[in-house]
């Protein structure tokens, strides 16, 4: 059943709305929520879920980047260093996936494994992020002032591989890595830079999955119809919602889903 435009399903619109709302409230990457939802609830093949979610992320994060750039909260130097690692990693990963076959047993198992681990790491990062950064700054007072270029490029490479395989990691994992590398940079700039870097990363990875035949565009339309207003509502409501219970609750959900993907 569809409403309005051909192929647009109310169930997918509602899913996009709910995920967008949670992203706006918590800042957690949509892939951490959307990809397992598509696989576990709607029964999409992992490759299709990942490929569709990558283009979904490219569109939604473009909106976020526009807002952050207007507010001058993007460090384009960091974005460039991250991209120097993530873009080659994405291309290499796509070549490997294409060689093995998007629907092969090997790729399907690899997606489930990487997705499960990435979800668990994302959940942990939500809980310990502030504590890890505080410890890093206290034990290494000068850390982050002269961070080596290659460390940022290496983070980009790792994130590129993980995101290309699972569509998860550009948000939670990338943010906590940047917080550790640049603890004195305002958090809003860390978030803005991470979102800006995710745009070319998810776009290139998404186009690669599209080329490999692993994108459902009707599904993508439905998700976007719901998610964009959801993100706006969530971003507005974030100031009224306490993180004291929201993030721990979300972490529990991510842990349970991550374990489900691994079993």
pLDDT at position 2 is: 36
Interatomic CA distance for residues 163 and 90, integer angstroms: 8
pTM summary value = 0.82
Give residue-wise pLDDT tens across range 53-64.
Answer: 999 888 888 877
Give residue-wise pLDDT tens across range 147-199.
Answer: 578 889 999 999 999 999 988 876 667 777 887 788 777 777 877 888 889 88
Token pair in block for residue 80: 């460039």
Q: How far is CA 218 from CA 11, 36, 48, 51, 208, in A?
A: 13, 18, 12, 13, 18
pLDDT at position 251 is: 75
Residues whose CB is less than 8 angstroms from the CB of residue 183 and which lie 6 or more positions away in sequence, other chains included? 133, 136, 137, 143, 144
pLDDT at position 133 is: 63
pLDDT at position 181 is: 81
173 sits in which H/E element? helix 172-181
For the chain, percent helix, then strand, then coil, each to nearest 5?
A: 80, 0, 20
Residue 132 DSSP class: H
Interatomic CA distance for residues 167 and 35, integer angstroms: 7
Domain positions in the chain: 10-262
pLDDT at position 40 is: 87
pLDDT at position 3 is: 39
pLDDT at position 242 is: 64
Interatomic CA distance for residues 207 and 57, integer angstroms: 12
Which parts of the chain register pLDDT below 50?
A: 1-6
Token pair in block for residue 92: 């290499």
């Amino acid at each position: 059943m569809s409403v309005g435009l051909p192929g647009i399903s109310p169930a997918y619109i509602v899913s996009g709305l709910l995920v967008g709302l949670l992203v706006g409230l918590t800042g957690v990457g949509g892939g951490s929520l959307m990809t397992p939802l598509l696989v576990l609830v709607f029964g999409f093949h992992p490759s299709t879920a990942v490929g569709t979610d990558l283009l979904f992320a490219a569109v939604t994060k473009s909106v976020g980047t526009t807002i952050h750039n207007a507010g001058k909260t993007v460090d384009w130097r960091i974005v460039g260093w991250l991209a120097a690692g993530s873009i080659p990693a994405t291309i290499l990963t796509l070549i490997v996936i294409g060689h093995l076959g998007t629907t092969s047993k090997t790729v399907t198992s690899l997606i489930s494994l990487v997705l499960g681990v990435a979800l668990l790491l994302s959940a942990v990062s939500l809980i310990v992020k502030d504590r890890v950064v505080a410890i890093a700054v206290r034990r290494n007072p000068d850390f982050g002032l002269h961070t080596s270029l290659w460390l940022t490029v290496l983070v980009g490479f790792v994130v590129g591989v993980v995101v290309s395989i699972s569509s998860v990691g550009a948000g939670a994992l990338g943010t906590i890595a940047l917080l550790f590398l640049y603890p004195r940079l305002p958090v809003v700039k860390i978030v803005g830079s991470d979102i800006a870097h995710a745009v070319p990363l998810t776009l290139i990875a998404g186009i690669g999955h599209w080329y490999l035949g692993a994108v459902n565009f009707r599904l993508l339309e439905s998700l976007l119809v719901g998610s964009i207003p959801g993100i706006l509502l969530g971003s507005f409501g974030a100031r009224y919602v306490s993180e004291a219970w929201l993030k721990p609750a979300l972490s529990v959900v991510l842990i349970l889903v991550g374990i489900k993907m691994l079993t």
